[in-house]
Amino acid sequence: MASLKQTTVREASSTKGFALHTGSQVTLTVKPAAANTGYVFKRIDLPDEPTVNAHIDNVKQVERATTLGEGNVKIHTVEHLLSALRGTGIDNALIELDANEPPIGDGSARQFLEMLATAGVQELDAPLAEYEVHEPVRVTSRDGGYIIAWPSDRFEVSCTNANHLGKHTQYRTWNPETGNYGKDIAQARTFVFYEEVQPLMEKGLIKGGSLENAVVIRGDAILSREPLRYDDEFVRHKILDIIGDLSLFPARLKAHIYAVKPSHGLNVELARELYKQYKVRQSQRMPFEHVPMGEGGMDSQDIMKILPHRFPFLLVDRILGFEGTTKIVGQKAVTMNEPFFPGHFPGHPVMPGVLQVEAMAQVASILVSRANGVAGKIGYFMSADKVKWRKPVVPGDTLIIEVELTKSRGKIARAIGVCRVKNEIVSECEMMFGLIDT
């Protein structure tokens, strides 16, 4: 069966409105993005138009909404928009907004669904990233709530929105294979108990809140500008939030989610625990570390037949193996004799981060030389994006360099690189190469 492909929006589309917690007026525009971008927010109202990736590592706050941030830049109440993107099958998007919070609309994802219907969906030439949960993961809250991710061959949510009052408790199971996100989930509005309104206002929240964008529950009474859209609208909105918050995990999940009294805090904590599991499994995979020479491995002499680099600028010692023509793992033993140590942090030797990027580029160039349609070419490094250095690399470390080719067409190739030490990521980046005949 052919693998599923990633998607983005076909064209730019905008929507306007007021933000729930800040009360600010905001214009939000969703634009196409390249494969493996994920969801990226861009604050066009700020100098230099900084961006924030929608990733579990960037969650800053989870009280009544999910807030993302990098540095001093924050984006509040992202869950409804992210739910709409994930619910409509869009994997990559650039989201520009001129305030720190998307518009709240009517408290559901309907406004974003309409915007995305105008934008359309475009398939990309890259495989869909999926993660199948292999072991149950459970997180709990102090009020007795819990959420579990159970192994499954598809994404599914079973939710009970029990509350402290013991009223309006509802239950529903939903999955995208048998259900329709737009009809089943997207229309469900946010709700709040009357007793919670005053404390939220005292905290400076819900400045833009009204009966236009929320359902208020007061005892047995339902306060709303319109009748409930579903008999079980409250639990459907909880599922909407779960879908949005779990989209902060960097791949589509295959798991059955069981939630009782869920909250943004629980949703995000589950995504964080799943990400820990994901990183452990990724590090344990290391499918090439024990591949014997002659079954995909290359020694330094083999490497120098492909790369023009020589000591001291050859930054890969061995190729541990290949996975088809799109993945490769290399190795670099970092010793005290490296020529860059005497002049780089003398007394506290640290491998320069730019040389880690160069090591990834050299391994990628070897992979490019084997890729379908570009055999016999070598990659000339053109650019590096989303470069991150997470931990120092010091003498005695063994650098494991993993590279995946994401595009190779014509004279351009793109790849993602990761360097690990003791199964922990120390650096990563996205790279672009020009393909030149050898």
Q: Which residues are catalytic?
A: 264, 344
Q: What is the DSSP letter of 312?
A: T
DSSP 130-188: EEE--S-EEEE-TTS-EEEEEE-SS-EEEEE---TT--S--EEEE-TTTS-HHHHTTTP
User: Positive or negative, the Cα torsion across 245, 55, 146, 163?
Assistant: negative
User: What tokens were used for 319?
Assistant: 């190729």
For strands 252-260 and 130-132, give the pairing: parallel
User: Positive or negative, the Cα torsion across 139, 54, 190, 232?
Assistant: negative
Q: How far is CA 95 from CA 19, 33, 83, in A?
A: 15, 9, 14
Q: Which residue's structure tokens are 């138009």?
A: 49
6 residue type, one letter? Q
State phi, psi for 63 to the nearest 5 degrees. Answer: -85, 110
